[in-house]
Amino acid sequence: MLKNTRILVTGGAGYIGSHTLRLLGEKGADILVVDNLSSGYREFITYGELKKVDIGNLSAMKETLSSFRPRIVIHFAAFIQAEESVRNPMKYYLNNLSKTIMLLQAMQEAGVELFIFSSSAAVYGLTDTVPIPEGAPFRPANPYGRSKAAVETVLQDLSNAGAIRFVSLRYFNASGASIDARLGERHRPETHLIPLLLKTAKGELPSFTIYGDDYPTPDGTCIRDYIHVLDLAEAHVLAAEYLLSGADSAVFNCGYGRGYSVREVVDVVKKVTGVDFPVNIGPRRPGDPPVLIADPARIKQTLGWKPRYDDLEFIVKTAWEWERKESSQ
């Protein structure tokens, strides 16, 4: 269904965007990537042309949309660090909220109606529901999560008014790398759990610090639902096909429905790499919710999504291959 379908991908040079782009390209989609390369990498773009434009540039985006005439916009471009958003909320509201609204305005003026949004489990934040269904109320623990929740509200209103149809994918913790280690996670600075553990195993960092062991969880460390980036990429393909089939706007969790504590992830990384390294306990990181585990029933039922890589050891193995390749360059 995606063959020759024109799709505009913002943030296609980033981590999740680049894996999705590759899958869309393999399916024969006709892709244009819009990325300002503020945190993306040109070499991550395996299909389609790159247009180096900021999504907040209304006239450039209108021109780009009018000339490419995509059926769908998939919108990855965003800042992603919850802790940074606590220190610098304006950065998040400007980029993640204002510029998304500008993008939607440019789409409206160019007559593009279908939209796939990179939302986040961070919208649930301090929820006490485990696992979390999509109907759970928004209780974001930081401005990052609030910026994503605000966009979802805007999308729902635009959809109610008949201006767009959208799918919002609420990602839990994206992790792992492509199986051939061609693509992977490269954030500068790196703040995510698995890449930091692997850099410690590699000897690039002297030790690893767990951010708090006094959470109300069995071992006191935070619990997350780690989803392989390729399963996440597949969710976008299914969401695009869903919208193209004429279906109504919808919101889907993207996670496996089971969680691992930080300590459990540390143990898996030590096992996969065969390296023991020092682990310290530090204070809590501001903005971290204690437990985020998806209820993935809706995406399975509605989109027929079937997880293929629901295995933390496999996730860490692919990330380890990627990390080793990164250091050999």
Task: By CB under 6 A, name the binding residues for ligand UFG.
Answer: 80, 82, 120-122, 172-173, 191-193, 196, 209-211, 222, 224, 262, 285, 288, 292
The distance of closest approach from Cβ of residue 222 to ligand UFG in the complex, given in angstroms and rounded to an integer, is 3
The distance of closest approach from Cβ of residue 116 to ligand UFG in the complex, given in angstroms and rounded to an integer, is 17
Task: Give whichever of 260 and 309 is closer to ligand UFG, judged by the CB atom.
Answer: 260
The distance of closest approach from Cβ of residue 224 to ligand UFG in the complex, given in angstroms and rounded to an integer, is 5
Task: Write down the catalytic residue from 47, 124, 144, 256.
Answer: 144
Helix runs in 52-118, H state only: 58-68, 82-87, 89-92, 99-110
Task: Give whichever of 61 and 319 is closer to ligand UFG, judged by the CB atom.
Answer: 319
Task: Give whichever of 183 and 210 is closer to ligand UFG, judged by the CB atom.
Answer: 210
The pair of three-digit structure tokens given for residue 27, joined into one six-digit string? 């399916």
Indicate if 226 belongs to the active site.
Answer: no
Task: Give whichever of 5 and 253 is closer to ligand UFG, judged by the CB atom.
Answer: 253
Q: Number of C-alpha atoms within 13 angstroms, CB side, residue 276? A: 0
From residue 30, alpha-carbon distances to 6, 47, 65, 72, 288 in Å are 5, 9, 14, 11, 38
10, 33, 7, 35: which is closest to 243 by C-alpha?
7
The distance of closest approach from Cβ of residue 193 to ligand UFG in the complex, given in angstroms and rounded to an integer, is 4
Whether residue 290 is preceded by a cis peptide bond, meaning omega within 30 degrees of 0, is no
The residue of the chain with the least Cβ separation from ligand UFG equals 222
Contact 220, 259 (CB under 8 A): no
Q: Which are the catalytic amino acids? A: 144
